[in-house]
Structure 1
Amino acid sequence: MTDASLGGEALRAIHGVDAIVSGRRSAPRRIVERIRFQLPTGLVLAAVVPLAFQYDVLTTTSLPNVVNTAIGVAVAVLVGYYALRRLGTYPTMREVGAVLPVFSVVFMTVAATFLAFRFDYSRFQFLLGYAVAVAWFAGVTYASWRGRRTCYAVVPVGEALSIRDVGAADWAVLDAPVQLPRTCAGVVVDLHADLPKHWDAYVTGCVLAGVPVYHYKQMRETLTGRLEIEHLHENILGAHDPHLGYLKIRRIFDVVTAATGLLVLAVPLLVLAAVIRWDSPGPALFTQARVMRGGRVFTMYKFRTMYAGTSDPRNHEDAMTRTGDARITRIGAFLRRSRIDELPQMVNILKGEMSWIGPRPEALPLAAWYRDQLPFYDYRHVVPPGLTGWAQVNQGHVTRPDDVLSKLHYDFYYVKHVSLWLDLLIVLRTIRTILTGFGAR
């Protein structure tokens, strides 16, 4: 293809974008943001620097102990940093907040491996390496993230301008097919719109010049962690079971952990059941028919948190919990805030009716009402329901149809992207939710 065959407007667009791309790629990134700086420096600091504080111990500590510890710390740093980077690819995720829990879990796993295989190691060196790793990666992650906002250029055709209501990035609306602003990381366009010839040439030029071009819905999904479905042809959820292999492996984990949890917590759960019955008349457990994977119905177990006989199970409004709900008992308010009321669902997990993570199962009357009010509602039942989920850690408890629709979009995102890394992120966010009481009613 020659310059003449491209047409004047396309040629100017391509040449303009090329100039901007060349300039942007030649600009050096801040050193602190580079993996080649963050990881090697973190390895040296965490694995080697603690040795300087052991000068008085090296004479009595064998060399294998020191070497084993340094290797263990290095492995923990590598795995922790990799996990941190993977988790950071998900929307609404601030990596700096994940540094402590991620590295804590990884270092504890390495320590457990040392104990299981009876490897000799220096506890002082190991703990100091852990502290240094957390401090270093928290610092560089914060320095990289602080004040950083990504800017994207928007082609003002079709529905692309609707992306401006997403506050997670800055948007530069293009008035004409001119050079891409130097600060922009890519171009957002409505790829389903009938683009005028000059804009079509501009977008083509961006693609040929290596500039990222995003469909506005793809960009919205990436930044918000929500997936909206407006037409059947857009559905990528219901044609087959997503990530079936991963779900089968996760089922093994569910069975082992649920069985272990029931055995370990049997006595505390029995004591709590007695406290609930003492606090207010009625059974300790609350059972309710809810919807599981495939639209099937199952009986879900929870600790009772409301006064017995105050709800009509056939009324969808009674199935909703409102702020300051007078039906909640004294002990029930604490159980809801701490999520302890959900622990009996380990029985549902063991039976295969639920998983630890997935869309929350809704009561039958509520699910029927949502099905009538919300488009494509049943697609959330493609995966097993969970004790916690992506919607819960992002939005909490909601009841209004508009809020439920927003929450449903989080469920769609989870169904599409279900994976080990997303589940790990949900676990971390759930811990934060339990500590803060976010979304509890």
Structure 2
Amino acid sequence: MKRPLPDPEAPEKHSEECLPAFANPMASRTKRPWFQRTNTQFFIGLGLALVVPALVFLLQSTQVWDEATFTSSSTLAAIAVVLGYQFQRKLFRFPDVKAGSHLVAGFTISFGLVLGVAGLLRSDYSTVFLVTSYLTSLIWFVAMDRVRRTHSRLAMVILKGGRIPDFASIHQIEWNEIYRIDDYSPDMGPLVMDLRHPHDDHTLECVARLVLDGVSVFHTKRAFERLTGRVSIEYLSENEFGSLRPEQFYLRMKPALDWVMALLLVPLFATVLVPLALIMLIVQGRPIIYRQKRRGLRGKRFTFYKLRTMKTEDQNALQTSQEQIAALLTRFNDPRVTPFGRFLRRHRLDELPQIWNILKGDMSWVGPRPEAAFLSDEYQRRIPFYAYRHVVRPGVTGWAQINSGHVTELEATGVKLEFDFYYIKMMSPWLDFLVLMRTVKILILGIERT
């Protein structure tokens, strides 16, 4: 929904005072309700997570509780709440992250870690205290997130001028457009504008005042990235590629973390793969494993493994590049996919052999999905900056995979590439955890690839 626009042909009139609506900083800021203040939410939640379990335990007259146990339990609960709260704040930086499962996962992990460390150190603690603290903090923060979303109006203002992305496609936000900075008021919402556009001096002066008064002002490019989870290819020619460089410390740690996680999961994967292989042998015959050359880190070719889900075809019959591309792309309801293969693909079970690619160092758990070598070379010729996705190891699952699914058209591949660039730019343990959580959800629900 958009407000009526001022006439862009009307002559501009600048007031002597820059933006009278917010010339007074105190008048420009609308006092937010307490439930929208993150610090208030946190301290109330922390207090409840300590007071409620203490009352519950004290009401149990049959239990003897010494001061050391109380102190230890309170300390462990406080640490767990702080970790869980920080966990949720890290996740909420990413687009379309809501409460519910993410909050449950965050606080479950934080309390689990605290209990694990306490067990290793053989600390005295009350299980009743910690369980009550866990449930109390979880209920509080989920409720506050629900209240905040119910009472908050998601609105932003676009100052026309320069390069403006297609924000109208982001439907969860009310977008209002203005042509002059004098038409803006802070109560309309944060301001979004092209800061690289040569605006007039009056506009720049007013924007500077807005920033000093604490009003949120976003560059169009940054706003687009934060709201969509994509880095627009259109803007890349303006940037140094260093701005898309992944965080180096985590980039160096990630292969070791991937390898350890893969090693721990080998027994679990084996118990699933062996029965699947036997069923495949009976239902659709050999071969069981499908091998293909794909592009990985720095564009190097590697052998990619997965369970075969399609009928065997004579690849030598392909004569033209168009025929090769058509054969490499799997479409929705592709007739080449076997009935059992469709089941494997729906639950992503065909990807299980890629644990071997991770152990070999060819792949990661999370990253851009590797394309067939021929297809990757073709995309590199057609799509600008496509080769940059090879700056990190490809993944079994990825940010683009969970947001755009399987694509076949060139334009859709460009959008998927923008998701890949966002992952590369924002790569972190938090984003990897978010991707893995959503992948598990897809595995459980069995969402069909499109």
TM superposition score normalised by structure 1: 0.89
Amino acid at match of 2:39: R
CA distance in 2, matches of 1:375, 1:20: 47
| 1:378-424 Cα shifts (integer Å, max 9, x gaps) | 11111111111111121222212222111110001111111222222
CA distance in 2, matches of 1:150, 1:312: 56
CA distance in 2, matches of 1:386, 1:73: 36
Conserved? CA contact 2:299–2:387, under 8 Å: yes
Query: Alpha-carbon deviation of 1:83?
Result: 0.8
The answer to whether residue 326 in structure 2 is matched with residue 322 in structure 1 is no
Amino acid at match of 2:250: Y
Q: How does 1:189-338 map to 2 (within 5 A)?
A: 189-196=193-200, 198-207=202-211, 209-230=213-234, 233-237=237-241, 242-309=246-313, 315-338=324-347
Residue in structure 2 matched with residue 45 of structure 1 by the alignment: 48
Residue in structure 2 matched with residue 80 of structure 1 by the alignment: 84
The answer to whether residue 360 in structure 2 is matched with residue 347 in structure 1 is no
Residue in structure 2 matched with residue 3 of structure 1 by the alignment: none
Query: Alpha-carbon deviation of 1:30?
Result: 1.3
Amino acid at match of 2:35: V
Conserved? CA contact 2:347–2:447, under 8 Å: no
Amino acid at match of 2:37: R
CA distance in 2, matches of 1:135, 1:374: 47
Query: Alpha-carbon deviation of 1:66?
Result: 4.0
Residue in structure 2 matched with residue 23 of structure 1 by the alignment: 27
Conserved? CA contact 1:395–1:407, under 8 Å: yes
Q: How does 1:138-149 map to 2 (within 5 A)?
A: 138-146=142-150, 148-149=152-153
Residue in structure 2 matched with residue 434 of structure 1 by the alignment: 443
TM superposition score normalised by structure 2: 0.87
1:326 is paired with a residue whose SS is coil
Over 3 Å counting, the alpha-carbon distance change for 1:197 and 1:120 in structure 2 is closer
Aligned counterpart in structure 2 of residue 115 of structure 1, from 119, 134, 137:
119
CA distance in 1, matches of 2:237, 2:220: 17
Please say which of residues 346-355 and 271-280 is displaced more in the overlay.
Answer: 271-280
Residue in structure 1 matched with residue 135 of structure 2 by the alignment: 131
Conserved? CA contact 1:290–1:362, under 8 Å: yes
Conserved? CA contact 2:19–2:182, under 8 Å: no
Amino acid at match of 1:242: P
CA distance in 2, matches of 1:240, 1:93: 22
Residue in structure 2 matched with residue 385 of structure 1 by the alignment: 394
Residue in structure 2 matched with residue 420 of structure 1 by the alignment: 429
CA distance in 1, matches of 2:325, 2:349: 24
Query: Alpha-carbon deviation of 1:205?
Result: 4.6
Moved over 6 A (4+): 8-11, 310-314
Query: Alpha-carbon deviation of 1:270?
Result: 2.2
Conserved? CA contact 1:10–1:205, under 8 Å: no
1:387 is paired with a residue whose SS is strand
| 1:32-68 Cα shifts (integer Å, max 9, x gaps) | 1223332222223223312333333563455434433
Amino acid at match of 1:404: T
Please say which of residues 283-292 and 124-133 is displaced more in the overlay.
Answer: 124-133
Over 3 Å counting, the alpha-carbon distance change for 1:284 and 1:28 in structure 2 is same
Residue in structure 2 matched with residue 34 of structure 1 by the alignment: 37
Conserved? CA contact 1:46–1:73, under 8 Å: yes
CA distance in 2, matches of 1:209, 1:68: 44
Over 3 Å counting, the alpha-carbon distance change for 1:250 and 1:208 in structure 2 is same
Query: Alpha-carbon deviation of 1:377?
Result: 1.0
CA distance in 2, matches of 1:207, 1:45: 36
Please say which of residues 392-401 and 237-246 is displaced more in the overlay.
Answer: 237-246
Over 3 Å counting, the alpha-carbon distance change for 1:49 and 1:19 in structure 2 is same
Amino acid at match of 2:389: R
Please say which of residues 381-390 and 311-320 is displaced more in the overlay.
Answer: 311-320
Amino acid at match of 2:43: P
CA distance in 2, matches of 1:243, 1:34: 30
Amino acid at match of 2:51: V
Q: How does 1:402-421 map to 2 (within 5 A)?
A: 402-421=411-430
Query: Alpha-carbon deviation of 1:152?
Result: 2.6
Matched length: 433
Indicate the percent of aligned positions where both proteins have the same amino acid.
33
Over 3 Å counting, the alpha-carbon distance change for 1:29 and 1:209 in structure 2 is closer
Amino acid at match of 2:84: G
CA distance in 1, matches of 2:330, 2:78: 48
CA distance in 2, matches of 1:72, 1:313: 65
Conserved? CA contact 1:221–1:227, under 8 Å: yes
1:275 is paired with a residue whose SS is helix
Over 3 Å counting, the alpha-carbon distance change for 1:241 and 1:312 in structure 2 is farther
| 1:241-270 Cα shifts (integer Å, max 9, x gaps) | 532221111121111111121244334322
CA distance in 2, matches of 1:313, 1:111: 60
RMSD: 2.7
1:48 is paired with a residue whose SS is helix
CA distance in 2, matches of 1:388, 1:312: 30
Query: Alpha-carbon deviation of 1:84?
Result: 0.5
CA distance in 2, matches of 1:149, 1:313: 59
Residue in structure 1 matched with residue 8 of structure 2 by the alignment: none
